[in-house]
Amino acid sequence: MGIKCSKFSLCWCGSQHKPSVLQSSDPENEEKNLLPSFREFSWEELKAATNGFSPDNIVSEHGEKAPNVVYKGFLQDGRWIAIKRFNKSAWPDSRQFIDEAKAVGNLRSERLANLIGYCYEGEERLLVAEFMPNETLAKHLFHWESQPMKWAMRLRVALYLAQALDYCCSRGRSLYHDLNAYRVLFDQDGNPRLSCFGLMKNSRDGKSYSTNLAFTPPEYLRTGRVTQESVIYSFGTMLLDLLSGKHIPPSHALDLIRGKNFLMLMDSCLESHFSNDDGTELVRLATRCLQYEARERPNAKSLVTTLVPLQKETEVPSYTLLGIPQGNANNNEPQVLTPMGEACLRMDLTAIHEILERVGYKDDEGVANELSFQMWTNQMQETLNSKKKGDAAFRTKDFTTAINCYTQFIDGGTMVSPTVYARRCLSYLMCDMGNQALGDAMQAIAISPEWPTAFYLRAASLSTLGMTNEAQDSLREATKLEAKRNRN
């Protein structure tokens, strides 16, 4: 059907790196390019995106027994998303939840993991944001495996975080709740971004700090309220994290600084990788942020002004400094592909067709079909005939007829078959109808969330639409499911 393998080969690609890290984001222009408009999602849409809110999709890393869980999800339009699902006692007033979500949803910055939607149905309250595939600052700073975070990258994290706070202040959202190393995420190019979730209160009780009291702003301990200056105090604790590579209580750090032993604060992995002047300047900034009196702390704009001259290796992309491949989705291990995976990787639609034809409908065995007595009559016979005609057309590669017949079977509504969706998906691909193919792959996943073939076909569909990073993710997911099935 005119589909060339080279055109749709799966490969890593990423966005072009900005000329310099010193350039602050331009929120007025970037909103046009970053994301679709903020919108309301349905419960069913998010349930399908997370495979029924499967525990396998939970991405919360810190291990606290928080009532609010964050899931990784995949939308039918090919985007990965992060979904924060609140517990049932949070946000009982749906109007308050919607208003707060919309206010945060108006923000758009390349320094934020932006909020792109919300959902409220019954007692459910969910926020939807951009998904950041390269984990948290806590992971890269405290729990690194291959290399410690470089000094230039630590300085970049500090600057980007300050720019994020400055942008939020300029848009009237100066309060950030519980700013910490788990709130800073890395996108596909390794650029640090501030999670938008902290711009909303966790629940109606207004509790804003879940960390150890040793890291909590002193005025919050006195009043229980977050102020702009409280956020700056938390920024100061994060500067200590970046300096030391550890989560050091501010009181202990300030004692060392007052004793002019600030070098004892520094991460031993950074020895000889930074100048004393730079270290002294960053320690001085942290000290200003951690002043006991809130009015003595700098504002967000002042943080940016101080951090810009300290930047190093400004022309080096973040993914290089972070030590990850460009466009990395946090998994660069070689894949051992099955024949189906190989066919999808090559976009060999003929080979995919042969595999689907060979395995038949054996993967439908676990799908329950509830049929009333009345359906075992003319309607049922007509539905089955549509499927048989579709199978015959699929076998002879008459894909247009196959699409029409399978559509009649699906519209009949008397039976649910992931294999029919898979076969119609491939038929759409053969007819250069990528969006329709992706829709069918997603339907097959919703019906059978553990079926590797559905994920393979999603990878092929995404590849035809030019979504190569997402296609790679789906291919990896299919491979994992196949390995899991073989182990069982």
Query: Is residue 178 annotated as part of the catalytic site, yes or no?
Result: yes
C-alpha distance from residue 230 to each of 172, 247, 281 (Å):
16, 18, 21
Other Cβ atoms closer than 10 A to 43: 13
Number of helices and strands (H, E) in the chain? 19, 8
C-alpha distance from residue 25 to each of 30, 168, 251, 404, 425 (Å):
8, 12, 34, 49, 40
Give the angle subtended at the CA of 234 by the CAs of 228 and 237, to the nearest 5°.
Answer: 150
Q: Under a CB-based contact definition with an 8 Å cutoff, are residues 151 and 141 in contact?
A: no
Amino acid (one-letter) located at 426: L
**Across the beta sheet with 192-195, what order do the strands follow?**
112-113, 192-195, 184-186
| Pairing assessment for the beta strands 112-113 and 192-195 based on DSSP bridges | parallel
Distance between CA atoms of residues 297 and 229, nearest Å: 7
Distance between CA atoms of residues 247 and 244, nearest Å: 8
The count of C-alpha atoms lying within 13 angstroms of the C-alpha of 52, restricted to the half-sphere facing its C-beta, is 8
C-alpha distance from residue 251 to each of 178, 229, 257, 258, 409 (Å):
18, 18, 10, 11, 69
Catalytic residue among 166, 178, 241, 391: 178
Distance between CA atoms of residues 390 and 400, nearest Å: 10
Distance between CA atoms of residues 309 and 332, nearest Å: 34
> Which helix (DSSP H) or strand (DSSP E) does residue 69 occupy?
strand 69-74
Phi/psi at 273 (5° precision) = -100, 5
Q: Under a CB-based contact definition with an 8 Å cutoff, are residues 262 and 279 in contact?
A: yes
Q: Is 271 helix (H, G, I), strand (E, B) or coil?
A: coil
Q: Which neighbouring-strand residues pair with 39?
A: 117
The torsion region of residue 321 among left (phi > 0), alpha (psi -120 to 50) and beta comes to alpha
Catalytic residues: 178
